[in-house]
Amino acid sequence: MPPIRLEGLVKRYGAVEVLHGIDLDMAEHEFTVLVGPSGCGKSTTLRMIAGLEDISAGEIWMGERAVSNLDPKDRDIAMVFQDYALYPHMNVAKNMSFSLRLQKRPKAEIDRKVRDVAEMLGLSPFLDRKPGELSGGQRQRVAMGRALCRDASTFLFDEPLSNLDAKLRGQMRAELALMRQSVKKNMIYVTHDQIEAMTLADRIVVMHGGHIQQQGTPTELFRNPANKFVAGFLGAPPMNFLDAILVSQGGDLMAQGKGFALRLPPALAARATKLAYKQVTLGLRPSDLEYVPDAPEGAGLNLKVIVSEYVGAQSVLICDCGDARVTVEIKSETPIALGETLRFAVRPEGLHLFDPKTEVAI
């Protein structure tokens, strides 16, 4: 039995159903990230696991126990909220030890636990400070430390970095990644930020419209998105989508559109030949295009550069391709001029096709 299993989880608010049957198995000590746009149902799912929301249908299992009817305190979980919810009048040590003191655990045990967790999170110098005397990032770590002190088997995080500025967010993301290497617990983390999902998760669960769209490792989802939504949601800048028609040419299958004709690699061509339709949506990630002036016929496309955004080592080019726009990521030192038409090679494994009606990957 997996440590956490969601079985056909449904949530209704009155007549409105917002979660339509969520099935999810977590592996032991897995870091699972629920990610999706605002309103997709990720926080509701997390709050149902925590016991903060009633379940309309379905069941939540923790090991062999069905927990849907248990109080939050009986579920062996600790939660870190978006707003930290620290007690302003207590110092860091007292905030962190709050639940242990509530359980009347021996003082020596409490002191040891707080010391160990503070050490791990770099909070040792701040144990006597009140939350108001800490930076946003330090407060965030205290909220994390308070959860870790509880020694629960499962940790739930609801957008814990969303109140931080971009720089601190990046730092805390790295600290979280470091922390999870040493903390062997089940962790479920909710975010709308695909970069957090990609960098932290063992397993990403992409949600949209109250459904799970796809789940898997970050690499699986990035390389083999199940549908156009997942393809467009993960990755920055996002995947380009172009209308294309499948055409046979000298034994090859090509995806042809306004201003391009790209040869499909064998495995994709084999799947595409079985289709009953010819009209497809072609997906190309900006990082799967490379400036290669002599890219051969069928392996590249010509793009007219209209905007160049310098972002350090990389530049993002926005280009015209027929009447569509295509974004490309290139090394900044590549000599390009605005208005030029340049040739880009496409990595064959970077070609994605989607059914234009169902948006399912081909």
Ligand X SMILES: Nc1ncnc2c1ncn2[C@@H]1O[C@H](COP(=O)(O)OP(=O)(O)OP(=O)(O)O)[C@@H](O)[C@H]1O
CB of 288 to ligand X, least distance (A): 29
CB of 123 to ligand X, least distance (A): 28
- Nearest-CB residue to ligand X? 43
CB of 232 to ligand X, least distance (A): 17
CB of 40 to ligand X, least distance (A): 4
Please report the beta strands in the chain, taking only residues with DSSP state E, as ranges in sequence order: 4-13, 16-26, 31-35, 57-62, 65-66, 77-80, 154-158, 186-191, 203-208, 211-216, 240-249, 252-257, 260-263, 279-284, 289-291, 300-310, 314-321, 324-331, 341-346, 351-354
Residue among 43 and 140 whose Cβ is closer to ligand X: 43
Listed in sequence order, the DSSP H helices in the chain are 42-50, 92-102, 107-120, 136-149, 166-182, 194-200, 218-223, 228-233, 266-273
Pair of tokens at residue 183: 């903390």
CB of 145 to ligand X, least distance (A): 24
Residue among 55 and 361 whose Cβ is closer to ligand X: 55
Distance CA 348, CA 291 (A): 14
Using CA atoms, how far residue 358 sits from 229, 281, 284, in Å, is 11, 11, 18
Using CA atoms, how far residue 308 sits from 190, 260, 337, in Å, is 34, 22, 9
Residue among 61 and 81 whose Cβ is closer to ligand X: 81
Residue among 42 and 228 whose Cβ is closer to ligand X: 42
Distance CA 357, CA 297 (A): 29
Residue among 11 and 139 whose Cβ is closer to ligand X: 11
Q: Are 200 and 189 in contact (CB under 8 A)?
A: yes
Binding-site ranges for ligand X (CB under 6 A): 13, 18, 36, 38-44, 192
CB of 189 to ligand X, least distance (A): 12
Pair of tokens at residue 38: 């605002």
Residue among 14 and 251 whose Cβ is closer to ligand X: 14
Residue among 37 and 137 whose Cβ is closer to ligand X: 37
Residue among 44 and 140 whose Cβ is closer to ligand X: 44
SS3 296: coil
Distance CA 234, CA 216 (A): 12
CB of 360 to ligand X, least distance (A): 22
Residue among 40 and 361 whose Cβ is closer to ligand X: 40
Rg of the chain on CA atoms, in Å: 25
In sequence order, the β-bridge partners of residue 298 are none
CB of 13 to ligand X, least distance (A): 3
Using CA atoms, how far residue 163 sits from 90, 106, 136, 269, in Å, is 21, 35, 8, 46
Using CA atoms, how far residue 106 sits from 40, 94, 100, 271, in Å, is 44, 14, 9, 64
CB of 358 to ligand X, least distance (A): 23
